[in-house]
Structure 1
Amino acid sequence: MASITHKLTIPSSTRYLVEVRDFVKGHAAKAGFSSQAIEYLKLAVDEACTNVIKHAYKDDRENIVDVAIIVTDDKFVIRLRDRGIAFNEAEYQLPDLKESISEGKRGGLGVKLMNRLMDRVEYRTHDGVNECCLVKYREDNS
């Protein structure tokens, strides 16, 4: 099977996250993923989109997030593109979980969660366009 690509563009607002989750759910179901794998995909894309909206765009609703799903024989890829502030993976420091809980801090664990739920998470920036790819291989549909 050649790769099949599906695209969706949303305004940079968390109110559109349900649309993204439904988009991913529909295409993952068509690709034959288990219900648990679909929930993982939805949670990972929700976290990734939230990071773009909150951190790359600083909640500026005048921007857009491009979402593409690429389905191949061996994998399901969710690609997010934005033109906001780039995520620097090398400078990212995982927050201290105990400290976050004791101080009642919210957030900060999305990157770790995405890496746990997906087989691969990749970040790159080229010509002012940031790209995050969430990869789930077909042989691991759990």
Structure 2
Amino acid sequence: MADFKAIVNDVKTGKSYNVAVSGHHANSLDGKNIGEIVDGIFVGLPGYKLKITGGSDKTGTPMRADLPGKKRVKLLLSDGLGFHERYPGERKRVAARGSTISSETVQINMAVTEYGPKPIEELLAGDGEEKKE
């Protein structure tokens, strides 16, 4: 069973929220690709639509949207995600992970595309904050 850490970015306010995803919700995200729109119920945001924008595995290797599959491969890069050149023309072999979420993925980055009826702060607030009266 896979467990993920989802980083949900609220594009209106610019805030990001760290949400733990486990159980059948995590299994539902397995096999999804970068760029897909998923239901917010997987991360505790019913009524919301989220776009998968990236992620990384347990070693911190970033996912690339232009690399199909789940594998971790070494690419010869001159610029882009995972490498930035120090001088013009520099190239380097860098590890990158494919665009498909797998059991080896630890972190998933998401952005809100459609908002639900309740605010995000209210849905993702801990139980201790809501019951203080």
The answer, yes or no, to whether TM exceeds 0.5 is: no
Structure ID, larger Rg: 2
TM-score computed with the length of structure 2 as normaliser: 0.23
Tell me which protein shows more strand as a share of its residues. 2
Tell me which protein shows more helix as a share of its residues. 1
